[in-house]
């Protein structure tokens, strides 16, 4: 594996340095003290990657208050909410084409006749949190409703009055001015709104937001939109990977929402999708219709051991550390000296993949307990390397605990 092994080792060394640097703040990760002095947005939110549901991937503009309420019900009845999926997020197309006479955003009367505040109340009464969508331009991406450009303070106060908990902020129909300036205005407006609102920046990675967005938002898109197919998902995983060192508690790289359960990939491909997103500390935002999902979809989304990797208090993004053509090793440090490893076969046939301890930051003499997070089985004593045979487009995911 020559050059790719050497590059992977250097990557591994870089995030093992992050392991050391991140260990100190981990002790205070429960509060804003963890963020101060680190150039992070000081709103105390997203200390672990946010989890929830978003309407866009499955429903696009076909949304109404009945469906949102049923989704909130389903998040509770399926047990997903108890696993940490707390946000119910409206995406584009929830508003009228024009503002009212006072310049306020208005819920679309034909689809949200009770208004957004009433919908937020319903979601909150389920023990969940409510999110909404706007845009750093003159119109949203669908062009069916106004954006917030020039109305940042007014819209932030409106969202606060509606008791919104989360804002996804898109980048369509903008005047080609600096996104740093436009997104910072909304960030300040949210901080001055009187309500603590998680700020999810959707600038599509065009201006390398990982390098500047930590003090502006709680997460920032590093890529264009995901599509529900293998090629899109794997490409986005690779694009997001390069920004791994910028993710920390309070601010996360966002490779877009989950497609698990939407039908464009196989169960094994969706399992790979979920595994890599969890390892990469991506926000886990379900994008399917949870009211009618099948058993395989629920099984993937409700794997508490994989979710625990995503929510690990150390908050270090795992990354690709070794590749040999389509055979890859992804890994990253976890709290307590543990390491997460994904052996990923992106090829068309079954293959054997090995993670050597030198690839993943362990000593050659280390003896570990290896927990298989999808088989829910433990290998009690492994030394030097971990090898498994992986099917096409499949993966195995382990947490290694040194003895």
Sign, CA torsion 20/28/76/256:
negative
Question: 155: which strand partners?
Answer: none
Beta-strand runs (E) in 148-283: 166-170, 198-201, 219-221, 252-254
Q: Could you tell me the CA-to-CA distances from 77 to 52, 262, 396 in Å, in that order?
A: 14, 20, 29
225 is catalytic: yes
Core vs surface per residue 74-99: b (16+ CB within 10 A) or e: bbeebebbebbbbbbbbbbbbbbeeb
Question: 386: which strand partners?
Answer: 355
Q: Which helix (H) or strand (E) holds 275?
A: helix 267-279
* Residue 85 and residue 51 in contact, taking contact as beta carbons nearer than 8 Å: yes
**Which candidate in 91, 135, 165, 170 is catalytic?**
170
In this structure, what DSSP letter does residue 106 have? -
Q: Could you tell me the CA-to-CA distances from 270 to 234, 249, 267, 366, 377 in Å, in that order?
A: 11, 26, 5, 32, 20
Q: Can you say how many angstroms the Cα of residue 338 is from the centroid of all Cα atoms in its chain?
A: 22
* Residue 389 and residue 351 in contact, taking contact as beta carbons nearer than 8 Å: yes
Neighbouring residues of 373: CB distance < 8 A, sequence distance ≥ 6: 275, 303, 305, 306, 309, 397, 398, 399
Beta-strand runs (E) in 58-183: 87-89, 129-135, 166-170
* Residue 252 and residue 282 in contact, taking contact as beta carbons nearer than 8 Å: yes
170 is catalytic: yes
**Which candidate in 64, 225, 227, 238 is catalytic?**
225
Q: Using CA atoms of 194, 43, 117, 107 in order, give the dihedral in degrees to the nearest 10.
A: 100
Q: Which of 316, 365, 364 is CA-nearest to residue 338?
A: 316
In this structure, what DSSP letter does residue 236 have? H
Question: 278: which strand partners?
Answer: none
Catalytic residues: 170, 225
């Amino acid at each position: 594996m020559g050059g790719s092994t050497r590059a992977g080792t250097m990557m591994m060394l870089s995030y093992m340095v992050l392991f050391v640097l991140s260990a100190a703040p981990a002790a205070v990760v429960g509060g804003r003290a963890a963020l101060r002095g680190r150039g992070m947005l000081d709103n105390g939110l997203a200390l672990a990657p946010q989890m929830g549901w978003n309407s866009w991937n499955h429903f696009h503009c076909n949304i109404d208050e009945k469906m949102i309420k049923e989704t909130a019900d389903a998040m509770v009845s399926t047990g997903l909410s108890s696993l940490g999926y707390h946000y119910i997020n409206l995406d584009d197309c929830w508003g009228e084409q024009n503002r009212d006479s006072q310049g306020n955003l208005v819920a679309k009367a034909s689809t949200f006749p009770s208004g957004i505040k009433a919908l937020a109340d319903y979601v909150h009464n389920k023990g969940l949190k409510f999110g909404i969508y706007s845009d750093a331009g003159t119109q949203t991406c669908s062009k069916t409703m106004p954006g917030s450009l020039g109305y940042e303070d007014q819209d932030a106060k409106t969202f606060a009055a509606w008791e919104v908990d989360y804002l996804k902020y898109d980048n369509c129909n903008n005047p080609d001015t600096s996104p740093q300036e436009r997104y910072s205005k909304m960030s300040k407006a949210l901080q001055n709104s009187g309500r603590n609102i998680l700020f999810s920046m959707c600038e599509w990675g065009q201006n390398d937001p990982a390098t500047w967005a930590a003090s502006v938002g709680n997460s920032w898109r590093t890529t264009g939109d995901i599509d529900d197919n293998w090629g899109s998902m794997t490409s986005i995983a690779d694009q997001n990977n390069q920004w791994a060192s910028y993710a920390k508690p309070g601010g996360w790289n966002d490779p877009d929402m989950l497609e698990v359960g939407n039908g464009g990939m196989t169960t094994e491909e969706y399992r790979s999708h979920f595994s890599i997103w969890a390892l990469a500390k991506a926000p886990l935002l379900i994008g399917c219709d949870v009211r009618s999902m099948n058993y395989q979809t629920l099984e993937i989304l409700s794997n508490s051991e994989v979710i625990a990797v995503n929510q690990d208090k150390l908050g270090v993004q795992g990354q690709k550390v070794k590749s040999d053509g389509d055979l890859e090793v992804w890994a990253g440090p976890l709290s307590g000296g543990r390491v997460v490893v994904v052996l990923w076969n992106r090829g068309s046939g079954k293959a054997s993949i090995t993670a050597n301890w030198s690839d993943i930051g362990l000593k050659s003499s280390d003896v570990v307990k290896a927990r298989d997070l999808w088989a829910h089985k433990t290998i009690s004593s492994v030394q030097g390397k971990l090898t498994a045979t992986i099917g096409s487009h499949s993966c195995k995911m382990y947490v290694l605990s040194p003895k």
